[in-house]
Structure 1
Amino acid sequence: MTAELTHHDAGPDDRHSLTPPHNIEAEQAFLGALLYENDIFHRVADWLRATHFYDPVHGRIYEAATKLIQQGQLADAVVLKNRFERDEGLKEIGGSVYLADLMREAPDPAAAPEYARIVYDLALRRALITIGSEITKTAMDAGVEDEAKNLIESAERSLFRLAESGAASKGFMPFAQALGDSVAMAEAAYKRGGGLSGTSTGLKTLDAKLGGLHPSDLLILAGRPSMGKTALATNIAFSVARNYKADELADGTRKTVEGGVVGFFSLEMSGEQLATRLIADYTGISGYHIRQGRIDAAQYEDIRDAVEQIQDCPLYIDDTGGISIGALAARARRLKRMHGLDLIVIDYLQLITTSNSRADSRVQEVSEITQSLKALAKELDVPVIALSQLSRQVEQREDKKPQLSDLRESGSIEQDADAVLFVYREAYYLERLEPREGTEEHLKWEDEMREIRNQAEVIIGKQRHGPIGSVKVAFDPERTKFSDLEDTGRYDNNYD
């Protein structure tokens, strides 16, 4: 490199220097190769950002070149010269001559991605140093009321963001990037034949209303006890995990193309109970019979075969009871970092605890939880389905269909949620009104039960991105399984 190209350099191995780790020559080499061969950009665009350059002038050069290349224009020293005529930082290191020197001293374009990796790695190291300093300061300055585990969770959150994005914080997003993300979502829906831009729930009728499950959305799935909300959440989680397909990327990571990796926080049921439900779902054998051991040899073999076939589904279960919202978020981040993550399911909201001992009421605590879950959905860029109980006032009305006002300890549940869904089974209430056998009323009741016993309704009480309404689905109480009515005509005459 010429003298003009070796200003204020400090290598990463200069351990005794107070200067943050950086390598100006690597930045120069990459930029020179980029200006010489613009196609290099497409090999690093997914992960290299202007903020990763230590020298702010280099960051501005990369940003300007990026805009030109994305617009299909040439980005070289001549074109950039006009864009940097008034850039004082560039003038200090040689102005337009510096740009020409970058191109003249450019290395072999084939080596450019390696130089970009050096720039990126050193940027991560600088961010890590910043986070370490902040962790030290926070730990030193923490008051008595600040528990150490909360400080650890905060530190882990910062480290996760660094590991995922290569930056200590997300910061502002250019409008052009937001537009690109929107077009990508529309393209995904178009390629799926329209109507589905998110991950499928496994229920066509529900997908038609929701457009699938969308990253960063918080969905509340509510219902009274025995309505089937856990069953529906389990069915969705299992469907997403079973349909998981991913492409291997050049950097060794995997990109989900269908289905997804699921993290299921089962705060009420054990992992074994949840697994039994899934086996019943998959085999068609009653979960009650499986638990009681009332199965024959053929059914036992079916269960063994089912386990072999579904055991590799990327469904991860955490059945810790009374988990705190901080610990839940930390474990979700860890799961995404280690195995990937495309959907979080939480059963159920009111069983999560908070670290805020100063909250005046449970309503405030639940509000803190829903706000944290929405923030987690955005941070991890995955949909979060949180189950919720409904208040008893539903039982006191003649019309038992749930409403938004029935959300228990609602607080900000309705406000924070992108969608609120209710599970309602009319048969649950009708079953408890059975008349005396042998009467005309009993015969009429049997006809009504036969009609609705295996049906349920999913009511969409709120949807930020679409219409509200309801969909009718089939429900098999023996298997605790929801499915589309059109696929289960056998349910119509199944009451005895």
Structure 2
Amino acid sequence: MANPAVLATENLKQAASALEPLAFRQAPHNLEAEQALLGAILVNNEALDRVSGFLSPDHFFDALHGRIYETLATLIHAGKTATPITVKTFFENVEPIDANMTVPQYLGRLAANATTIINAAEYGRTVYDLATRRALIVIGEDMVNTAYESAVDQAPKAQIEEAESRLYSLAEQNKYGKGFETFRSALTNAIEMANSAFQRSGHLSGAATGLADLDNKLGGLQRSDLIILAGRPSMGKTALATNIAYNVAKAYRGERRADGSMETVDGGIVGFFSLEMSSEQLATRILSEQTEIGSEKIRRGMIEEAEFRKLSEVASEMSRIPLFIDQTGGITIAQLSARARKLKRQHGLDMLVVDYLQLLSGSKSRSDNRVQEITEITTGLKALAKELNVPVMALSQLSRQVENREDKRPQLSDLRESGSIEQDADVVMFVFREEYYIERTKPAEGTPEFADWMTKMSQASGKAEVIIGKQRHGPVGTVELSFEGQFTRFGNLARDYMIPGR
């Protein structure tokens, strides 16, 4: 029989071994890199210029290092020299690091141990990358905890969309998550925009639509703008949006930056959410426009061999154009935002088209009130335009009250279901074709009214109007375009003084 005293001793040993400290993982950090960077800045203040564009005090693992970095940056940006002597006054009353070293002494040691500023950018990148890893850990832990604690009736898709949004924000924080910026920085950006507009063909500050008169009114499609393109059915909203999207993508020209990323110089990479039409129907429209072969003939296969060869040649050229189509119907504004972020991360993005706004849905909590839902959608689209820094063109239906007026040109009050469309939009444009309405009032041939009708038809035939009803940073007014219905193509309207012989 075992000795009880021996058993008790063994149990105590096992309990003690269970209390032994286990190896644990620390959050990723590199204090030596932080010290080397701060020392380099103290020795030569120009080292700050190499990291200030992407590094902030929050990226430092050690809170004291973050405070020192913030103080150095404040002094240097104020035009003063930052040395251990000039900086120590800010830390004289700070609690000592330990019994043997105060913070001013620590600043002196940082400077004394610094050897060169050549590697300052590499030190800064190391600090930034490790901070990003720590942020990833926080997001990952939150995802795990949320997944464990979520209610049974809570859809996991909502958590996926939230996680994707947080990951995207983390990846793009250098571009879109800066918070407040100085007016000096904003002025610099404005001058750079003016310079790029001066160098770009057409001298436009935004992406060219390919329609000269429209570009003159808008100055191109401006980044971070929400552009509403509205009209009654059969006015050509989708055709105009498709023409503009194709023109922007066709004009795309990019240059590779020093860090290996691509910078758009002209045109742009376009994402097209076709919630109503399939991608094949959209492609057929663009093929018809570019080949001048009727879309009806293409769909029915009523084409000759020469036309088919032309289709193949044009399709081969078009396949290289950066135009991406998502034909999923019935998606929510959250899903659309997530897919747009993914497209920007994977391929880049310079313009987004949504056809059309009323086919989007908001969150389930607001689905019982359509006005609130449309408000959520337009607010989400505007936020997405600012987040991605791209123009978002959203198509919209108009109410039937247009049909009850003698002059059927649309107005801002005709926008369906919510005043938030007008409120959130930076630009509101209406497509109007008088020919469509005149054609439907055709009187009997041989009557006096028929002659008047023919005159009106000849004046309106092949013409369209884009009415700019709102523009935050430019004039409102009407732009006349040509319209070829058989090719679903809008174009620049030839003026009489442009035609040879007139």
Do the structures match in fold with TM over 0.5?
yes
> Structure 2: how far apart are the matches of 1:440 and 1:489?
33
Per-residue Cα deviation, 1:397-431 (whole angstroms, up to 9, x for no partner): 11101111111112521122122111011111011
> Structure 2: how far apart are the matches of 1:430 and 1:43?
65
Q: TM-score, normalised by structure 1?
A: 0.87
Per the TM alignment, residue 101 of structure 1 is displaced from its structure 2 partner at its CA by 2.8
Q: 2:436 aligns with which of 409, 428, 434?
A: 428
Letter in 2 for 1:361: N
> Structure 1: how far apart are the matches of 2:96 and 2:245?
54
Paired residues of 1:474 and 1:491 also in contact (CA < 8 A): no
Question: What is aligned with 1:154?
Answer: 162
Letter in 2 for 1:466: G
Question: What is aligned with 1:23?
Answer: 30
Q: Report the 3-state secondary structure (helix = DSSP H, G, I; strand = E; otherwise coil) of the residue aligned with 2:443.
A: coil
Per-residue Cα deviation, 1:229-278 (whole angstroms, up to 9, x for no partner): 10111111111111111221222211112111111000111111111111
Question: What is aligned with 1:363?
Answer: 371
Question: What is aligned with 1:121?
Answer: 129
Greater mean deviation of Cα atoms: 70-79 or 401-410: 70-79
Question: What is aligned with 2:209?
Answer: 201
Question: Is residue 318 from structure 1 mapped to residue 326 from structure 2 by the alignment?
Answer: yes
Structure 2 regions of 5+ residues with no counterpart? 1-21
**Identity of matched residues, %:** 53
Per the TM alignment, residue 326 of structure 1 is displaced from its structure 2 partner at its CA by 1.9
Paired residues of 1:38 and 1:69 also in contact (CA < 8 A): yes
Per the TM alignment, residue 55 of structure 1 is displaced from its structure 2 partner at its CA by 2.4
Please say which structure displays the higher CA radius of gyration.
2
Per-residue Cα deviation, 1:327-380 (whole angstroms, up to 9, x for no partner): 111111111111111111010111112331553322222222112112222222
Question: What is aligned with 1:56?
Answer: 63
> What are the within-5 Å matches in structure 2 for residues 37-186 of structure 1?
37-66=44-73, 75-81=82-88, 84=90, 88=94, 94-165=102-173, 170=177, 172-176=179-183, 177-186=185-194
* Alignment CA distance shift 1:206-1:71 (3 Å): farther
Q: 1:265 aligns with which of 269, 273, 276?
A: 273
Per the TM alignment, residue 483 of structure 1 is displaced from its structure 2 partner at its CA by 1.8
> Structure 1: how far apart are the matches of 2:86 and 2:249?
50
> Structure 1: how far apart are the matches of 2:339 and 2:497?
41
Paired residues of 2:467 and 2:479 also in contact (CA < 8 A): yes
* Alignment CA distance shift 1:115-1:152 (3 Å): same
Paired residues of 2:363 and 2:373 also in contact (CA < 8 A): no
Paired residues of 2:358 and 2:397 also in contact (CA < 8 A): yes
Aligned residues: 476
Letter in 2 for 1:58: H
Per-residue Cα deviation, 1:431-487 (whole angstroms, up to 9, x for no partner): 111222234433332332222211111111122223322211121212211122148
Per-residue Cα deviation, 1:150-186 (whole angstroms, up to 9, x for no partner): 111111100111112269x936323344444344334
Letter in 2 for 1:395: E
Paired residues of 1:366 and 1:411 also in contact (CA < 8 A): no
Paired residues of 1:246 and 1:258 also in contact (CA < 8 A): yes
Paired residues of 2:366 and 2:372 also in contact (CA < 8 A): no
Letter in 2 for 1:27: E
Cα RMSD for the two superposed structures: 2.9
Question: What is aligned with 1:340?
Answer: 348
* Alignment CA distance shift 1:260-1:194 (3 Å): closer
Question: What is aligned with 2:417?
Answer: 409
Question: What is aligned with 1:290?
Answer: 298
Paired residues of 2:230 and 2:395 also in contact (CA < 8 A): yes
